[in-house]
Amino acid sequence: MVNSHSEIVVNNRSYKWPDRPLVVICLDGSEPDYMALAMEQGFMPYLKKTLPQGTSTIANCVIPGFTNPNNMSIVTGTPPKVHGICGNYFYDKENDAEVMMNDPKFLCADTIFAEFAKAGAKIAVVTAKDKLRLMLGSGLQVEAGKIICISAEKADLATQQDNGIDRLLDFVGSPLPDVYSGELSEFVFAAGIKIVDKYRPDLTYLSTSDYVQHKFAPGTPAANQFYAMIDRYLAQLDAAGVTIALTADHGMNAKTDAQGNPDIIFLQTLLDNWFGENKTRVILPITDPYVVHHGALGSFATIYVEDAAILDDVLSRISTLEGVMVTLPREQGCQRFGLMESRMGDILVVSTKHKVLGTSPDRHNLSALKEPLRSHGGISEQRVPFMLNRSTTGLKEEGQLRNFDIFDAALNHVS
């Protein structure tokens, strides 16, 4: 018999067993204004009614403000210096290879799900994109109806053996969504409520995609419709009697100049002009296989410098560029942002609110960008919502609170 009232310790943080089923939601790219304006304009009646008796504050996300580092922080309760996922890519100097970090082997910490599962908890993890599913499912032994781990993107391929559930499209009652669509996120919620109703997992994690936020600003009709959809599912989840805890992996800002064109600093081009080719290597940790909506342009970059003799010169030249907010050498940068030094370059660069960092023009295909560029990654996208449908006591102050405190808030601080 499992002692369901013991505390579970994960990465040196202790979590109480949930007093009712808990659903933690990571709304990808959800700049606080999206919900604030949607509520104000009447598109989120459930949330508007609920938050005054619940919890609503602002937390800071992890920098680089990208999807994988933040999702892994949320589900481990730790900064990237502990779990090791500092971006989608890092450069393996020894093998001279740019390595994609979407394999669980790069994860250095346990997930909260895996430790609760060991203690007998029922778990459900639902992601939009399949790239996150393996990482979030790290250490979880899938078990039909008990330990479920699925993605909307590959919902048609789900099996009892690999995902803990099969015939998922029938179960959810929706067709397979396009990976580049708002429906991908809707499927996450639709699957989430069905799973909560049927299996009552102790912990459920729903992680959406930021397709809509990359295209549409807060308060626009398309954004409001998307958040109205979310509000309907939040109301259903609430009616199912669960604790809802909601945060985001990062915010989102317009990254355009006065003419509406992407405002890009091409770091590799500049560095090659200043120091010659192959002296430096710019890595953009936003790069992933799904670049259509952001052209692999974000507000964070790391630079590997081959020749230590030019390091100071690189630092000072980059730091004086217009549109660069922060330039730091590895050690200081990793300290400030809580990153793992072995997974970062010699220099960390963060751009200002409306600028993005690129490598060279030929390496960014912007032809698929239909709307003015919106993206994330920097300090200007660090503020994210932090909400629960229940009141809480003893939470950290705004400014100290992190998105990866959400499980702590929902399990240890609800009143």
Cite the beta strand spans of 136-220 per DSSP E.
147-151, 203-207
Distance in Å, CB of 235 to Zn ion, minimum: 24
The stretch among 104-112, 244-252, 327-335, 350-358 that binds Zn ion (CB under 5 A) is 244-252
> Which three-class secondary structure state does DSSP give residue 164?
coil
Nearer to Zn ion, 28 or 408 (CB): 28
Nearer to Zn ion, 110 or 210 (CB): 210
Nearer to Zn ion, 79 or 164 (CB): 79
The stretch among 13-21, 162-170, 236-244, 245-253 that binds Zn ion (CB under 5 A) is 245-253
The interface with Zn ion within residues 9-28 (CB under 5 A) comprises: 28
- Per the rule left: phi > 0, alpha: psi between -120 and 50, beta: everything else, 36 is alpha
Distance in Å, CB of 214 to Zn ion, minimum: 6
The contacts of residue 12 (CB under 8 Å, 6+ apart) are: none
Tell me: does residue 408 bind Zn ion (CB under 5 A).
no
- How many residues does the structure list for the chain? 415
Tell me: does residue 210 bind Zn ion (CB under 5 A).
yes
Q: Judge whether 213 and 220 are in contact, CB under 8 Å.
A: no
Nearer to Zn ion, 65 or 137 (CB): 65
Give Cα separations from 269 to 35, 81, 320 (angstroms). 38, 30, 16
- 318 φ, ψ (degrees, to nearest 5): -65, -40
Q: How far apart are CA 382 and CA 352, in angstroms?
A: 12
Nearer to Zn ion, 18 or 65 (CB): 65
Distance in Å, CB of 398 to Zn ion, minimum: 21
The stretch among 1-9, 204-212, 265-273, 377-385 that binds Zn ion (CB under 5 A) is 204-212
Tell me: does residue 249 bind Zn ion (CB under 5 A).
yes
Distance in Å, CB of 67 to Zn ion, minimum: 3
The site string for Zn ion over 26-55 (x = CB under 5 A, - otherwise) reads --x---------------------------
Nearer to Zn ion, 28 or 153 (CB): 28
Number of residues that bind Zn ion (CB under 5 A): 4
71: tokens are 């999702």
The stretch among 91-99, 114-122, 166-174, 248-256 that binds Zn ion (CB under 5 A) is 248-256
- Per the rule left: phi > 0, alpha: psi between -120 and 50, beta: everything else, 216 is beta
Distance in Å, CB of 293 to Zn ion, minimum: 7
> Which three-class secondary structure state does DSSP give residue 83?
helix
Distance in Å, CB of 289 to Zn ion, minimum: 13
Nearer to Zn ion, 71 or 280 (CB): 71
Q: Judge whether 347 and 333 are in contact, CB under 8 Å.
A: yes
Nearer to Zn ion, 61 or 147 (CB): 61
Q: Shortest Cβ contact with Zn ion: which residue?
A: 67
> Which three-class secondary structure state does DSSP give residue 348?
strand
The interface with Zn ion within residues 55-74 (CB under 5 A) comprises: 67
Q: In DSSP terms, which residues pair with 281 in a beta bridge?
A: 304
Nearer to Zn ion, 67 or 204 (CB): 67
Distance in Å, CB of 256 to Zn ion, minimum: 16
The contacts of residue 61 (CB under 8 Å, 6+ apart) are: 70, 73, 248, 249, 250, 251, 381, 382, 383, 384, 402, 403
Distance in Å, CB of 69 to Zn ion, minimum: 9
Distance in Å, CB of 299 to Zn ion, minimum: 11
- 258-262 long-range contacts, CB within 8 A, separation 24+: 260/372, 261/372, 262/295, 262/297, 262/356, 262/366, 262/369, 262/372, 262/373
Nearer to Zn ion, 67 or 352 (CB): 67
Residue written as token pair 């930021």: 210
Distance in Å, CB of 169 to Zn ion, minimum: 25
Q: In DSSP terms, which residues pair with 349 in a beta bridge?
A: 301, 327
The site for Zn ion (CB under 5 A) is made up of 28, 67, 210, 249
